[in-house]
Structure 1
Amino acid sequence: MRYSDANLTLHHLVAVQAECQPSSIALRSVYEPPQSGLTYEALHSQITKVTHILTAHGIQPNDRIAVVLPNGTEMAVVFLAIASCATCAPLNPNYQRAEFDFYLDDLQAKALIILAGQPSPARSSAQARNIPILDLIPTSAGQFEIEGHAVCDGHPEFAKPDDVALILHTSGTTSRPKMVPLTHRNLWTSANNVATTLELTPSDRCLSLMPLFHIHGLVGVLLASIAAGGQVICTPGFQATRFFDWFETFQPTWYSAVPTIHQAILAQAEQQRDRLEHSALRLIRSSSAALPTQVKNLLETTFQVPVIEAYGMTEAAHQMTSNLLSPSDRKAGSVGKAIGLEVAIMDETGQLLQPSAIGEVVIRGANVTSGYEQNPDATAKAFTQGWFRTGDQGYFDSDGFLFLQGRLKEIINRGGEKIAPLEIDAVLMDIPEVFQAVTFAVPHPTLGEDVAAAVVLHPGANLSAVEIRKILFQKVADFKVPSQVVMVDAIPTGATGKLQRIGLFEKLVDQLKPVFVAPQTESEQKLAAIWAEVLGTDCNIGRHDNFFALGGDSLKATQIIVRITQIFEIEMPLVALFQSPTLMEQAERIDALCAESSTLMSLFNQLQDRPEAERLALIENLSL
């Protein structure tokens, strides 16, 4: 069907499917039998019913309604219904009271929809603000009643394409969260772009694993499926132990998730081989974070379907670029080509660069927000000549594929050398024993920032941080090798399962500080005194302390080498300090060099007493 400009709303999107295929299933719940579900006709009817209820409670277009509901069909219907006549503001049900206080105030919410009987600090937060509470009472999958005090009668006024359908907050990892208003036009455009990219049809069934308080789940899964007239299998959220049960029972044709979810699925896949034999899956989509090439390859080998990596963000109503289904339109390590909008590369001054140049990725198009709400300064900073600055660094190759190097605020500046964490992540992931890895910045008194990495090994794998650093020195330039590698059981993730790079130093600061163990050997004791002198510290230096973590840099490393030469009477290369940054490792190298020097001196003395011909023969043999 051809859509006119006036029809670009979510309500019309559902209405069209209800008219074209009324008996087709739109939403299914994993708690209901596989053959049951909410048809498009029933979905449209339920949405209309809810809009009348909301209108009776005084809700008008662009009023903000906060939603605190678990993942499932009810959450999907509530989002679509609110967006049809007002603005939906879904919130993470796991927030604490202080967080709900902030978000409800910031949104100036006109009502809160919450599950009846659901114990949540959101309820008390709304009560303290005299925000009306509408209790949702489920009756069957996607069907429910809403209880609350009605204030008026009347028919709903349905939203227009440029009314705000959804409002989300940015993550706020480094600053106050910003409100991102997204219109029906924004959402419709992005959903249609995803459906077109994946060649979705009414016969497709998507297993919904992403939370429906996040743009990925709302647009990349729910709205994209509805745009194609397909089906969404609603889960309570990703559960690794139940994934293959759902997979076998509901036979999805695709799913979309973040990389950590893909990895968790792969960790279970070896024991589930029999369930993959009769799979209906035709593609896997990955977005919202960089997908390691190793994970992509293993997914394709395991499921025998293409893995489509896409690039999205809240301000673009999710998708901006994507790989395509055709093998010639996919590249490993790339987030694909621009889909339905313009994408370019810009420098710090606002000048557009040649596609092959490295710079900030900028976008503009019908799916891009017009600006942050009630934050003109942030909006002015984010937009340059109509282009939205994504905050991501990247470049296009000669075929038009976009390659990302990470968030600009995540690029590590190590004494003037710029290091892209994603590059180091990729090298770490190439080590067979490594399951997950995140490279991150740590503060440094003279370098500004130093490089560290958190690593999770595969179950049963045995590899030390020292061994990992030795491998890295063979793969990347010395200045890119993390000074510290922290072995952890798990890397912290956000609410949507994305690995957290920003703020990782604060979370792992205790693990970055080794337990103090006093120097034990004579070499360690002498070296500790050298370190203390060069670093200018009165603190006790332990055998597991890291030279660079204590404030060492290239200049101080040179001073250390000079003192080692003077005190131990050996020639130690500067690179040895970078390759062996702990006191114990450096002392071991010193002892090895001293032993080698002693052996050579002994041999030299022995040679002095030999005839010249014999000395020359021995020297020649040694050189061979």
Structure 2
Amino acid sequence: MRKDILDPLRDLSQTAPQKIALRSHDRADTSVSQLLQIIDTVHAHFVEHGVEPGSRIATILPNRPETAVAILAVASFATSVPLNPAYALDETKRLLVQSGVTHLITDTTIMADATAAAIALDIPILQLVPLAGPTGAFRLAPHKPQRRTVAADTPDAGLRSSTALVLQTSGSTGTPKRVPLSAENLISSAWNVARSIELGPADICLNMMPMFHIGALVDLLLAPLYAGGSTAFAGGISSEAFFRGLQHFHPTWSQAVPTVLRDLLAHGATGEDARLFRDLRFIRAVSQPLPTRLQEEFEDKFGTRLVPMFGMTETAGLITSTPLDRLRLKPGSVGVPFGPQVMICDSLGNEVTAGKRGEVLISGPSVMSAYEGDAAVSRDTFRGDWLCSGDEGFIDDEGFLFLTGRLKDIINRGGEKISPQEIDMILSDHPNIAEAAAFAMPHPSLGEEVAVAVVPRDRTTLETSDIIDHLRGRTANFKIPRTVIFLDKLPRVPSGKLDRRALPELAGATVQARSHIAPASPLAKTLAAMWTSVLKVPVIGMEDNFFDLGGDSLSATNLALLLEERFGRDIPVSALFDAPTLREMEQVLSARVSCESAKRRLAPEIYSAVRLATAAWRGKRRDDSLVLGRNTFGKKRAFFWVCQSMWQFECLSEGLDPDRPFYILSSLSNTRVKSDENTQKLARYYVSEILGIQPEGPYLIGGFCQGGVVAFEIATMLKASGHAVSLLCLQDRFVAKPYDGELALFWGKRGWFCAYDLNDQPERAWAKYYSGPISVFYSSADHDDLHKPPYVDDFTQQLEKEFERVELSQPSANSRLLQPMKRLDRRCFASTIRAQVPTFMRQGSRRSIKVAITNTSPVPWEPTEKSGIILATRWRSLDKSHGYALDARLPLGKEIKPSATAIMELQIKVPMRNLPMFLDIDLVEDGICWFGGAGRSGLRRLVIPLAPDWRS
């Protein structure tokens, strides 16, 4: 007869039946005797619904007290298989089959996906229904009668009968495996936890870990209950839930992964939040290494000790733990064994002496007997009675274990073995780094190369050079990463552990090592020949790294001199360090060379017009470039701005961050060569200039008025060539062309050149063309005053906030959520408009004009609500150069079919001055364009003034 995980609780109920066991925010406390009564009632439900002691019951439930009680009830009666509710339908079905599940317990919040998986496999479903009263109370009800078919992959009956709990490993280092744990394993580990942290009846544990995790079930549930203490459920897995739990329950201890500890550190203020920690004796740091800097900052801020430990699902949790005796603290260690035996072995299985690195092996009553369903993996995992953890580490003279990394994560760089965790810990000491994780990237000649993913702290900006500089001098040169990526957060498996295997894909690495790619372009072949001359290496591939092939500072200087001699361009040595592969070096040099050729391709009249218009503009100009720069040595990401005048450049450069390089580009607005065709040519030229200044994205682009049109074309061309544009800023300009990137729109009081001048609902027009995120800002300034104080100060502050936001990948506080709208069929723009308009009208008078509009297109005109089409009037000067804002507008109230005519009545007001003028009557699409510009449409009548009738 197997042991029962409830035996220690039944013993406790004999001496302290009223001792509080479970607590929650919205339910009454549950005593030990009440908890046992609830579980006994659940056992009766099992018998009633056909569950037998040999059954395997999966639980797919939210993270609530009832889930914990349900798992306890199942594990003490049959075999419990807790599953992550976040699993996809197909993965849930696979795990149900592989685990040999006979029944499923779920509830209404998870029902849809869980029941679909069970129904597809003909697995009986029991619905968990929470009950009012003590914490964790519930009843079970059948979802509907079903007939059970035997799963194809059913574990051995002998293993099943001795198994209380089956958990899935986190999968952080390989394919998740099924771990069967007996009651003996669980009881042994729970008592080890209680002993390691000196738990007693006065202790209250705050539990905020997922219930399918070994730590939530053994460390935070069984261990405190066995010791006579209690567990309080935080009601969530977040900083808010944690602080709320501190305030409500006054716990004496808890545990969390370093990711949550960082969130607590960022969330907690120095006042009341810190005082809430006064009852905590400690917090256990679990699942992954605890950086020393994080531990110091956390303990200094909150005054609560962090206790690092080491455990595995395969050992039912605890292996080693840091002693609570502060005199025995050893930074970087995960403590000493508490229960299991620990041994360090070399690759041949021989135990090594103290201080030497090797694989960590574990043995003892809490260790599982074998994995389920994979005998080969089990054989490879065990050496006799010893479980191979897959972790590398060493034990010092006093028996403290230090982990140095996962063996499967070791980076083999041309025979040099590098532990990613060593790099992680060095980077964790950088004041502006929240988290970092090193990983292997494929390399064609070295096999693997070092890369690192970095999460900057809030409101900080990091560059690749900052990461490299921090590592230099702290570790060997061959360990310094060649690739650095910046992320908002590191990828994690459901248990919260780092998913290091996901990082190469995020960095754009392929699964298999890249093959040799020979140089193809003339420029690449020329560069390869130069490398061969300098490095004496016969064969050079596009992915080869100059410094990996033996290059150093001296050879880089020699190469730079060759490049300058060959191309006539000053190539700084630093550019070679920033672009060390042949492919990257080709791109950098190509951008510099193409900049020259682009100047030659730009029509002389366009080049001369822009050069003349910007001749007096003050700024740094490279050679005969048309682009001027300010703050060009700033460390922040550069901003490229297109405008019309020097004073706009001056005002903006004074307001922007002086550490941000600012480059100004001129539109053709004030030149005689302004045209759509020339604007395209100029934008294409500017792209080549920008790539010469900043070869890689993401880019910050913007423009004012007609400059916004040029900026729009630049951003579109950059994106089309594969470059990232993180933000496009348009000031007082709407461009009616598709764009799927992130936009920031800045509108003045009258909203010139935007959808406002043709429509009072411009969002409709934006939604027809702009499919990416949109941030919108407004100013009370007129168009010509937007770059004058104090309006320009607000604008530059808004720009800097937007730059910081997109660099941190944060959402905008001024975002517009627009429903996509279909653009009109271009065939719509065909119509006939007739109206009787008097030739003579009094200035300032109001007139009513009947208009007949006929749809001469083959497409029906839908009502304005769907199509955005309106009937409108405008007054235009005799030379047609100036148009006022709309004088009158009328929506289409109903559909107008092809060849159909609608009669509408417009109320116009004659201007007080500037007559004679033309009165235009035409259809308008959503503030985007007049029909007259695209098809046969519109009515124009010259209006000659009569003297105003002042008596009226």
Taking structure 1 as the reference length, the TM-score comes to 0.82
Aligned to 2:240: 241
- Aligned residue identity for 1:493: R
The Cα shift of 1:175 comes to 4.6
The Cα shift of 1:184 comes to 0.5
Instruction: Describe how 1:320-339 pairs up with structure 2 within 5 A.
Output: 320-339=319-338
Aligned to 1:492: 491
Aligned to 2:70: 78
Aligned to 1:443: 442
Tell me whether 1:365 sits opposite 2:384 in the alignment. no
Q: Identify the match of residue 137 of structure 2 among 125, 129, 143.
A: 143
**In 1, Cα distance between equivalents of 2:475 and 2:573:** 17
Higher relative contact order (CA 8 A, sep 6+): 1
Identity of aligned residues (%): 38
Greater Rg, structure 1 or structure 2? 2
Instruction: Describe how 1:1-40 pairs up with structure 2 within 5 A.
Output: 8-32=3-27, 36-40=28-32
- Aligned residue identity for 2:372: E
Aligned to 1:558: 551
Tell me whether 1:504 sits opposite 2:498 in the alignment. no
Render the CA deviation track for 1:324-357: whole Å, top value 9, x for unaligned. Answer: 1001233111001111111001111222221321
Do the aligned partners of 2:440 and 2:451 also contact (CA within 8 Å) in 1? yes
Tell me whether 1:52 sits opposite 2:51 in the alignment. no
- Aligned residue identity for 1:332: P
Instruction: Describe how 1:562-581 pairs up with structure 2 within 5 A.
Output: 563-564=559-560, 581=580
Q: Paired residues, what number?
A: 551
Aligned to 1:295: 294
**In 2, Cα distance between equivalents of 1:374 and 1:39:** 39
Q: Which of 441-450 and 549-558 deviates more?
A: 549-558
- Aligned residue identity for 1:436: E
- Say if 1:281 and 1:416 are closer, same or farther in 2 by CA, change over 3 A: same
**In 2, Cα distance between equivalents of 1:228 and 1:168:** 24
**In 1, Cα distance between equivalents of 2:459 and 2:498:** 22
- Say if 1:413 and 1:44 are closer, same or farther in 2 by CA, change over 3 A: same
Do the aligned partners of 2:560 and 2:572 also contact (CA within 8 Å) in 1? no
**In 1, Cα distance between equivalents of 2:484 and 2:467:** 8
| Structure 1 residue matching 2:508: 3-state secondary structure | helix
Do the aligned partners of 2:60 and 2:110 also contact (CA within 8 Å) in 1? no
The Cα shift of 1:129 comes to 0.9
Do the aligned partners of 2:234 and 2:242 also contact (CA within 8 Å) in 1? no
The Cα shift of 1:202 comes to 1.1
**In 1, Cα distance between equivalents of 2:34 and 2:531:** 72
Q: Which of 37-46 and 454-463 deviates more?
A: 454-463
- Say if 1:557 and 1:575 are closer, same or farther in 2 by CA, change over 3 A: farther
Instruction: Describe how 1:537-556 pairs up with structure 2 within 5 A.
Output: 550-552=543-545, 554=547, 556=549
Render the CA deviation track for 1:289-326: whole Å, top value 9, x for unaligned. Answer: 11111111122212213211100011000110110100
Instruction: Describe how 1:155-166 pairs up with structure 2 within 5 A.
Output: 163-166=162-165
- Say if 1:275 and 1:386 are closer, same or farther in 2 by CA, change over 3 A: closer
| Structure 1 residue matching 2:287: 3-state secondary structure | coil
Aligned to 1:543: none
Aligned to 2:481: 482
**In 2, Cα distance between equivalents of 1:457 and 1:278:** 27
Do the aligned partners of 1:341 and 1:365 also contact (CA within 8 Å) in 2? yes
Cα RMSD, aligned residues only: 3.3
Do the aligned partners of 2:454 and 2:486 also contact (CA within 8 Å) in 1? yes
Render the CA deviation track for 1:470-521: whole Å, top value 9, x for unaligned. Answer: 221132111111111112222222212222212211133289xxxxxxxxxx
Taking structure 2 as the reference length, the TM-score comes to 0.54
- Say if 1:549 and 1:506 are closer, same or farther in 2 by CA, change over 3 A: farther
The Cα shift of 1:287 comes to 1.2
Aligned to 1:222: 221
Do the aligned partners of 2:172 and 2:493 also contact (CA within 8 Å) in 1? no
The Cα shift of 1:215 comes to 0.7
Do the aligned partners of 1:219 and 1:318 also contact (CA within 8 Å) in 2? yes
**In 2, Cα distance between equivalents of 1:48 and 1:472:** 59
Aligned to 2:211: 212
**In 2, Cα distance between equivalents of 1:161 and 1:187:** 15
- Say if 1:467 and 1:531 are closer, same or farther in 2 by CA, change over 3 A: farther
**In 1, Cα distance between equivalents of 2:184 and 2:252:** 27
| Structure 2 residue matching 1:10: 3-state secondary structure | coil
- Say if 1:175 and 1:394 are closer, same or farther in 2 by CA, change over 3 A: closer
- Say if 1:553 and 1:50 are closer, same or farther in 2 by CA, change over 3 A: farther
The Cα shift of 1:379 comes to 0.8
Render the CA deviation track for 1:149-201: whole Å, top value 9, x for unaligned. Answer: 799xxxxxxx9998211101223456543211000010111111011010011
Aligned to 1:309: 308
Instruction: Describe how 1:573-592 pairs up with structure 2 within 5 A.
Output: 581=580
The Cα shift of 1:576 comes to 9.9
- Aligned residue identity for 2:167: L
**In 2, Cα distance between equivalents of 1:118 and 1:461:** 39
Aligned to 2:379: 380
**In 2, Cα distance between equivalents of 1:245 and 1:24:** 23
**In 2, Cα distance between equivalents of 1:228 and 1:161:** 29
The Cα shift of 1:111 comes to 0.2
Do the aligned partners of 1:211 and 1:217 also contact (CA within 8 Å) in 2? yes
Unmatched segments (≥5 aa) in structure 2: 147-157, 511-520, 533-539, 593-952
| Structure 2 residue matching 1:224: 3-state secondary structure | helix
The Cα shift of 1:577 comes to 6.2
Q: Which of 423-432 and 572-581 deviates more?
A: 572-581
Do the aligned partners of 1:260 and 1:499 also contact (CA within 8 Å) in 2? no
Aligned to 1:618: none
- Aligned residue identity for 1:430: D
- Say if 1:68 and 1:228 are closer, same or farther in 2 by CA, change over 3 A: same
**In 2, Cα distance between equivalents of 1:37 and 1:208:** 15
- Say if 1:8 and 1:333 are closer, same or farther in 2 by CA, change over 3 A: farther
Q: Which of 462-471 and 290-299 deviates more?
A: 462-471
- Aligned residue identity for 1:100: T
